[in-house]
Copies of this chain bind each other. A is one copy, B any other.
């Protein structure tokens, strides 16, 4: 019988393999992981027997299809290549079994990441749950990419003042508010964490190469995606849940009406974190979202002291049983991956009229777009297996989604494969 350490080691390796196959926030897989552990789930996928892990016969057909999709992604050599790419940028893989796993992410329940890739001074930064005064309290600052000078100024001030007060500024390393918040923290020699929506070995956005390097030197950079993974809208969406979960509170500094930052803030609220927003001129489009958030109950904050006060008040408040302690625990949908419909309202950068309601269709469209422009470019269009591999969905689910998308003219057959039709 294997020792406890051997079991831990095997679990870690299983999570590493699954990390390369499963897309973020896949709560169906997450539930199977909770119930059976990573080794059994991985073995079941490899053996094509994932359906056997679910007692509900109604879900078996769909699971068989998912299983086929995930198997396509368990390519030999992929894990080794990922580890090598991570090592080249000084990153390592951390799992919930490790001492430096950020326990706050456990609040995500079945949407908890399978593992995290981390670079920089990870250990010292975020292992504490914030109730430990010796560690910096993580605070998330998010906001518009297309921010105003005012927004950039205030994000920089907040980042600097919070870092000076001993907090660790968590953000997404994006252009705009994110960058200003990181820079504010760095400028005062403070601690800051960047959460990426792509592989940790990629530099995105390109213009933030030196910023990301500085963050890794002074704080930490992390991602739940395997090395090499490209940033996609789907991944940006789910990256936001990590920012929301890592902070004891989330501050929105400038957000337009349908900004993705509002989604992060709402998710932080669902996770029981403090939700805060910085007001601005009512004549500024960039503050409309922040004002709406305050009208919906977020705490108006004008200073770093008010941010810390809001988080302290939250910590002092008695637990509220009415609020679900695990995010989306009430979501009983079995459709993987779990982009809830309630969340699609606030997707970044989308016009309301062009919004596809179905998350599977959107993943397929995104993969098709990647196939037509990315490194896996094919002149003949992408076939169903390639799309299943790209999305982590099952071939049947991909085929059904292609049929629905073709019916409304968004995709078409081309040379034995599929292409997206103008507008996407």
Residues of B within 8 A of A281 (CB): 150, 154, 279-281
- Determine the residue in chain B with the shortest Cβ distance to A280: B281
8 A Cβ contacts from A277-295 to B: 278-283, 287-288, 291, 294-295
User: What separation, in Å, do the CA atoms of A291 and B154 have in the docked complex?
Assistant: 15
Within 8 A of B (CB), among A282-323: 282-283, 287-288, 291, 294-295, 299-300, 302-303, 306
Contact of A302 among B153, B154, B288, B300 (CB under 8 A): B288
Q: Which of B153, B282, B299 contacts A279 (CB 8 A)?
A: B282
Assess the B303–A282 pair: CB atoms within 8 A. yes
Partner of A294, one of B280, B282, B294, B303: B294
**Bound-state Cα–Cα, A278 to B300, Å:** 12
Name which residue of chain B comes closest to A284, CB basis: B281
Q: Which of B154, B283, B294, B295 interacts with A283 by CB under 8 Å?
A: B154
Interface size class of chain A, counting residues whose CB lies under 8 Å from the partner chain: 10 to 19
CA distance A287 to B154 in the complex (A): 15
Contacts of A303 in B (CB 8 A): 282
Q: CB distance B302 to A282 under 8 Å? A: yes
A279:B295 contact, CB within 8 angstroms: no
> Which residues of A line the B interface, CB within 8 A?
150, 153-154, 278-283, 287-288, 291, 294-295, 299-300, 302-303, 306
Q: Shortest 9 CB-CB distances between A and B: which pairs?
A: A279-B279, A282-B302, A294-B300, A291-B302, A295-B300, A291-B300, A150-B281, A280-B281, A278-B282
